[in-house]
Structure 1
Amino acid sequence: MELAIKLFQFILSISILVILHELGHFLPAKWFKTKVEKFYLFFDPWFSVVKKKIGETEYGIGWLPFGGYVKIAGMVDESMDTEQLKQPAQPWEFRAKPAWQRLIIMLGGVTVNFFLAWLIYSCLSLFNGETYTDLTKFENGIGLSDAGKKMGFQNGDKIVSIDGKPAERLENSSINILFSNHVTVLRNGKEVTFKVNEDGIADVIKQREAKLYITPRIPMVIDSLATPASKASGLTVGDKVVGINGKKVQFFDEVSTELNQNKNKTVVLEVVRDGVNQTLSVPVDKNGKLGVQIDTKNLKNLVTDKKYSFGEAIPRGFVRTIEALTMQVKQFKIMFNSKIQGYKNVGGPIAIVKSMPVDKSADGSFAINWPAFWSFTAMFSVWLAFLNLIPIPGLDGGHVIFTLYEMIVGKPVPQKILENAQMVGVIFLLGLMLLIFGSDIFKIITDKL
């Protein structure tokens, strides 16, 4: 049932985005009296699930859920139908229209995607507000994984800024750091600025711990005992761990470090119980765990729940859209970093479906988390806008580049060059699709997805 709900959300989100994106091309084409031969949700190689011709346009749904398209007469597109182009240009064809009209038609899809994301983020800000973990409330600084330490951080650091911009939200900052050059922290009462080590970034990405390598620094107070060994050790709920094998510890990250060095061993814990110090011999499992859950109630004090008025929600929606767009650009850049090798962690449709948010109730049933769904849809809308603007033949960005060339030089790119470029673009995009699907399948086989 959970998988079915995730799959439904993915198809619904993609359907909304594709239809509106293609409407962004369809409507200006109609306004400029350009013939649109097809309008399809999903692709329809060999056959379509459903189709109906209304006027001059065939509307349909394809069987391959990987996008959609509008086929505009007189345009070199992914269909590679060049027979019509051998005939003299007709007034209702794309190629017969002025360059500025063709540019508007081509930019219509990404424009819709951008404004859709802005609308969704504005609505989310207005109706749901934003809840985030506030870095400015981290009185004890941050705790780190080994990868976080390799990046240049130290336990107890307080993050001040990232590339000169104030750091406020843990959820955003933990991602932004991966794409940053310099981070400024407050360390032992002094501000320290350092270059983020790419080896640490590579480890974070490889280990898929983008949101876990930095955590709030909190004491280790036991909230529950989860294993028979922990229950038999003498530990009890409310115990606060303050020492391991004679070494004083104050925070959970320090406890975790010591336990990782004593896997499959028995350690002497010093705990405070009802104000009295006690020592206990406790086994550590092969993963460096005690088999307990820690008390995280104090984490609620680090959370900020921000509300927005209508007048505030609109500009906040715009800022969130720009932040999402900036993030896409940075992620694209890191993919081609030879040291980090971000391309190895590219996820496709299967990975996206598995990551779709769902709510699980106490009775075990699943339901759609609508705020999370719309947040994903807004982010994906921005991603589609960015992806389509990449100047690759076969994408909107490729058509835009050729049209801008024509407007600057004063003459169109030769038809043969357009056809060959489109062919190269289609081959590249097909290869990219195979790489993405192949990456998903490989991760399933190796149990890494």
Structure 2
Amino acid sequence: MEGLVKVGQLILGLSILVSLHEFGHYITAKWFKMRVERFYLFFDFLFPIPTVLNFALFKKKIGETEYGLGWFPLGGYVSIAGMIDETQDASKLAAVPEPWEFRGKPAWQRLIVMLGGVIVNVILGILIFFGINYHQGNNYLAKEEINKAGIYAGALGKEVGFRTGDKILKVNGKEYKEYSDITGAVLDDKPTYTVDRNGQIVEVAIPDDFLNKLSDQKSEFIQPLYEFKVAKVTQPAEPSFLDKLLNKQPAQPLPAFTAGMKDGDKILAVNGTPVKYFQLFREELLKYKNKPVALAILRDGKVDTLKMTVTPEGTVGFATEYIIKKSHEDYGLGQAFVVGVHDAFDVVWKNIQGFKKIFSGQVRADKALSGPFEIADMYGSHWDWLNFWSLTGLLSMALAFMNLLPIPALDGGHALFLIFEIVTGRPPSEKFMERAQQVGTIILLGLMVFVLGNGAFKKFF
């Protein structure tokens, strides 16, 4: 069920993004009186070969345009008469351009049509971030709150020089406001952190290969130290109908339930070692896998002791509630719009920084590029509309950025050729355009295979 929720959110998010992207091409083409022959969400052929496995799950012709839903769920397209793209080649174009064809229009009009999808994605991204900021305001973990206890340094944090309890004073030599300023700085060139370590000022510099290690998600970087309490003790699972039918033995209750732990308990120590913060509690439990422990707990103002045996995974069986004070500020319409624009284009800036690090060799492509598997995981196994729209807004801006890359099969490649035509006064030959389209498609296909294969390998192996 959780997998279906992930896939459902991924499909809905991509459907919104692709449909509106293609609508950008469609509406600008109609604006300049070009004939739009097809408007498809997903491909009705085996991309990138337009003549293989041609069928649609749904199609209906209205006027001169056929609207449809393809079977190949990666992308979509608008087919404009007289345009060389992934759906047709130069051999299908008439020698003399018709007035309603793409190639029969002035270059500046064709440029607007090519950029129509990107423009709509940018507008969508801004509107989403504007709506989120207006509705939610800004909920953040302030510098002052983080530095009450300092940060927790995970394995990767310790490797680069942090220590648990460090109080971060500055990021890249500048004051900062909230926790996201700390984590976001890792994309900067040679980021540094100024920390207070037991009264001593220390500079922590992030090495060039840091992002490769961070993307593995096997080692933690840094986190605020969280006080915590028991939110919900895990109850014994009820046997399913199939379990009963097969006379399968029910799973044993988890240690916390068996020992009598209750919702709201606050854990003070593990075998006498104080664990005020959740990360320290987790570290201590991992030392006692399959071993007995005594947990000192605070319940209704009284201290008690619960004895139990830790599971092989290093857990005892409860959901955690973090006790930490977040700051909040409301935004008016104007301020929410300004912040929304900033948030939207910050996605583009982070993409640029990421590509710069890939091409400079600081980050490996297999660590940095995400495909459908990773995006589905980001949407999550529970339907959360705030997370859904936040991620969809981020993807909308990322899609706009990716489509502007100067690769011939992408909008950016077409736009590059049109700018060349506007500047020189003559277009590239149709044969050149066809060959460029083929090369660009091969590049995109190779990138798609790489991203899908890399994602599948990381997911299943």
- TM category (shorter chain) comes to 0.7 to 0.9
Deviation string 1:347-381 (CA, Å, 9 cap, x unpaired) is 3223323432454xxxxxxxx32222221221111
Cα deviation, residue 85, structure 1: 3.3
Q: Map of 1:6-405 to 2, 5 A cutoff?
A: 6-45=6-45, 46-85=54-93, 87-138=95-146, 139-163=148-172, 166-171=175-180, 173-188=182-197, 189=199, 192-207=202-217, 213-218=221-226, 237-241=265-269, 253=279, 289=314, 291=316, 296-299=321-324, 301=325, 303-336=326-359, 338=361, 340-344=363-367, 346-357=369-380, 359=382, 368-405=383-420
| Structure 2 gaps, min length 5 | 46-53, 235-252
Inter-partner Cα distance in structure 1 for 2:194 and 2:303: 34
Deviation string 1:72-111 (CA, Å, 9 cap, x unpaired) is 2222211242124351222222223222112111111111
**Which secondary structure state, in structure 2, belongs to the residue aligned with residue 83 of structure 1?**
helix
Cα deviation, residue 309, structure 1: 1.6
| Structure 1 gaps, min length 5 | 360-367
Q: TM-score, normalised by structure 1?
A: 0.81
**Matched AA of 2:268:** K
Cα deviation, residue 336, structure 1: 4.8
Cα deviation, residue 126, structure 1: 1.4
Inter-partner Cα distance in structure 1 for 2:231 and 2:78: 57
- Which piece of structure 1 moves more, 124-133 or 419-428? 124-133
Aligned to 1:364: none
- Any conservation in 1 of the 2:267–2:275 contact (CA below 8 Å)? no
Aligned to 1:363: none
- Any conservation in 2 of the 1:244–1:255 contact (CA below 8 Å)? no
**Matched AA of 2:334:** G
**Which secondary structure state, in structure 1, belongs to the residue aligned with residue 149 of structure 2?**
coil
Inter-partner Cα distance in structure 1 for 2:279 and 2:160: 16
RMSD value, Cα: 3.7
- Any conservation in 2 of the 1:220–1:240 contact (CA below 8 Å)? no
- Which piece of structure 1 moves more, 349-358 or 148-157? 349-358
Inter-partner Cα distance in structure 2 for 1:352 and 1:60: 25
Deviation string 1:384-426 (CA, Å, 9 cap, x unpaired) is 1011011111000101111122222332223222211110111
- Which piece of structure 1 moves more, 325-334 or 337-346? 337-346
Inter-partner Cα distance in structure 2 for 1:17 and 1:268: 52
**Matched AA of 1:10:** L
Cα distance change of structure 1 residues 286 and 145 upon mapping to structure 2, 3 Å threshold: farther
Deviation string 1:264-314 (CA, Å, 9 cap, x unpaired) is 778999999999999999977665x47376975532x1x223321222211
- Any conservation in 2 of the 1:242–1:271 contact (CA below 8 Å)? no
- Any conservation in 2 of the 1:239–1:273 contact (CA below 8 Å)? no
* Percent of aligned pairs with the same amino acid: 38
Cα deviation, residue 36, structure 1: 1.8
**Which secondary structure state, in structure 1, belongs to the residue aligned with residue 448 of structure 2?**
helix
The equivalent position to 2:432 in structure 1, one of 402, 417, 421, is: 417
Work out the number of aligned pairs and report it. 431
Q: TM-score, normalised by structure 2?
A: 0.79
- Which piece of structure 1 moves more, 82-91 or 190-199? 190-199
Cα deviation, residue 151, structure 1: 2.6
- Any conservation in 1 of the 2:228–2:323 contact (CA below 8 Å)? no
Cα deviation, residue 68, structure 1: 0.9
**Which secondary structure state, in structure 2, belongs to the residue aligned with residue 322 of structure 1?**
helix
**Matched AA of 2:327:** T
**Matched AA of 1:308:** Y
**Matched AA of 2:346:** E
- Which piece of structure 1 moves more, 214-223 or 33-42? 214-223
Cα distance change of structure 1 residues 71 and 241 upon mapping to structure 2, 3 Å threshold: same
Cα distance change of structure 1 residues 128 and 234 upon mapping to structure 2, 3 Å threshold: closer
- Which piece of structure 1 moves more, 394-403 or 131-140? 131-140
Inter-partner Cα distance in structure 1 for 2:179 and 2:356: 22
**Which secondary structure state, in structure 2, belongs to the residue aligned with residue 207 of structure 1?**
coil
Inter-partner Cα distance in structure 2 for 1:23 and 1:290: 50
Inter-partner Cα distance in structure 2 for 1:229 and 1:249: 18
- Any conservation in 2 of the 1:150–1:199 contact (CA below 8 Å)? no
Inter-partner Cα distance in structure 1 for 2:181 and 2:5: 27
